[in-house]
Amino acid sequence: MTQLDIVKSFLEDSEIQEKYSLSPADVAQMTLTSHYNADAQVLVGLVRQMVNVVEDGSTPNLAANRLNAHLNTTLL
């Protein structure tokens, strides 16, 4: 399972798609560089970051800190 497959696994969730205005097609056609609306982009970026740090084998604490840092950068 590639990292992109795992990211897609998260974003295939219908509840999250509805909340962040993502369509099933958006997710199905997703690539590593796809862009979406602002809110969705933040979420997709966060999920990518999470998959990346977890699959790299970071500890949960380190991974959690990385996600917070990522959002601080993205949202500020």
Partner 1 sequence: MLIRKINITNFLCYYGAANQFEFVEGLNIVLGANGYGKSKLYDAFQWVFSDGITDNAPRATPGGLKLTNAVKGDLVSEKAKAECDIGDSVETKVVIEVDDQRNGNPRKYQLVRTYRTRRTDEKTWVEPGKSEFQILEYDIVSYKPVAEAKQAEILERLIPVDVRPYVWFQGERGISNLIDTSSNGSLKNVIKRLSDIDRWDTYIEVAERAYKTAQSAFDQVLSKSQKNQVRIGELQTEQRLLETQVRRLEEQITNASQNQQEAQEKIDALSASIEFAQTISKLNQARSQAEAAYTAAVKQSDAFDEGLSRKLFSDNWVLLGTSSLLDKFEDKLTAYDDAIAIRKATANLTKQANEKLQIRLPDNVPEPMYVRQMLDEEHCKVCDRPAPKGSEAYDAIVSLLLSEPEIIQPERPRKNLKSFFRQFYANGLGMKSSIDSINQRVQQSIQEQNAGRERVRSCKEEFEAKARELQQQEQLSGIVNARDIVNSMNGATADIKKFEGDLVGDRNKKKQHEDRLREINSELSKLSEGQVPAHLTQKKTILFDLMELTKRVKKTKYQELVQQLEDTANTHYRNINAPTGAFYGTIRFIETSDGGYRPAILDNDGREVGNLNTSLVSSLKLSIIMAIVSANKTRNYASFYPLISDAPVSDFDVVKAMTFFRETANTFRQSIVIVKELLVEDTTRIGRYKPDLVRLHELRTDLQAADKTLNVYQLDMPDGVSNAFRNELEVTIQKVNC
Phi, psi of 52 (to 5 degrees): -60, -50
**Which is closer to partner 1, CB of 4 or CB of 13?**
13
The 16-45 site mask, x for binding partner 1 (CB under 8 A), equals: x--x----------------------xx--
Cα 63 to Cα 15: distance, rounded to the nearest angstrom:
24
Cβ 33 to partner 1 shortest distance, Å: 21
75 binds partner 1 (CB under 8 A): yes
| C-beta atoms surrounding 53 within 10 Å | 19
